[in-house]
């Protein structure tokens, strides 16, 4: 997409990352969890709480007017407070959110490829994520090299071996 740019996420992006977590959780049109509900849920809030920790990193997609339209970020979670896509303490978990009006236009794929490149540049070899099976993003992740390592009732934990 030539009309979009990508920049590094900073601590100033914390509110936008919350917005993108809300978008990611509410990918189903009939699901309408509020920002407050999501932040009150420890299993979801830990993806954004206290952004930006020393090992956190991510990217933000911006339109020509420099408006943020999507984000992809990694967090290292641990066994004591695992994420839905947790596989081990040394594997960062990916979260991606795209503003609803920008979905289906390649923003997610662009962010995914760019954030995986950034992870590779940091020497990260494996990344994980969780995705609900019915989410169209599951096909994107599979097409970009993620494989399912654990399945639950409606969601899968996926990993990508991205090497260095």
Count CA atoms within 13 Å of residue 127 on its CB side: 29
Parts of the chain with a pLDDT under 50:
none
Residue 47: closest CA among 7, 13, 84, 11? 84
Judge if pTM exceeds 0.85.
yes
Question: Could you tell me whether strands 68-75 and 93-98 are parallel, antiparallel, or unpaired per DSSP bridges?
Answer: antiparallel
Q: Number of helices (H) and strands (E), helices first, in the chain? A: 5, 7
Residue 51: closest CA among 108, 8, 101? 8
Q: Output the pLDDT for position 28.
A: 81
Q: Output the pLDDT for position 24.
A: 92
- CA separation for the pair 116, 65 (Å, rounded): 25
Q: Output the pLDDT for position 2.
A: 60
Phi, psi angles (nearest 5°) of residue 65: -90, 10
Q: Output the pLDDT for position 31.
A: 86
Domain boundaries along the sequence of the chain: 5-161
2 φ/ψ sector (left φ>0, alpha ψ -120 to 50, else beta): alpha
Q: Which CATH number fits domain 5-161: 3.20.20.70, 1.20.1440.230, 3.40.630.30, 3.40.30.10?
A: 3.40.630.30
């Amino acid at each position: 997409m030539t009309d979009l740019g990508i920049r590094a996420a900073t601590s100033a992006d914390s509110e936008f990352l919350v917005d993108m977590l809300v978008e990611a959780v509410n990918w189903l049109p009939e699901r309408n969890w509020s920002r407050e509900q999501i932040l009150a849920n420890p299993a979801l809030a830990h993806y954004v709480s206290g952004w930006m920790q020393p090992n956190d990193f991510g990217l933000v997609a911006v339109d020509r007017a420099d408006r943020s339209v999507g984000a992809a970020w990694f967090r290292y979670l641990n066994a004591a407070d695992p994420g839905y896509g947790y596989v081990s303490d040394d594997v960062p978990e990916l979260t991606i959110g795209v503003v609803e009006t920008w979905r289906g236009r390649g923003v997610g794929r662009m962010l995914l490829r760019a954030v995986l490149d950034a992870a590779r540049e940091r020497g990260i070899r494996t990344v994980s994520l969780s995705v609900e099976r019915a989410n169209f993003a599951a096909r994107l992740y599979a097409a970009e090299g993620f494989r399912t390592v654990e399945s639950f009732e409606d969601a899968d934990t996926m990993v990508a071996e991205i090497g260095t």
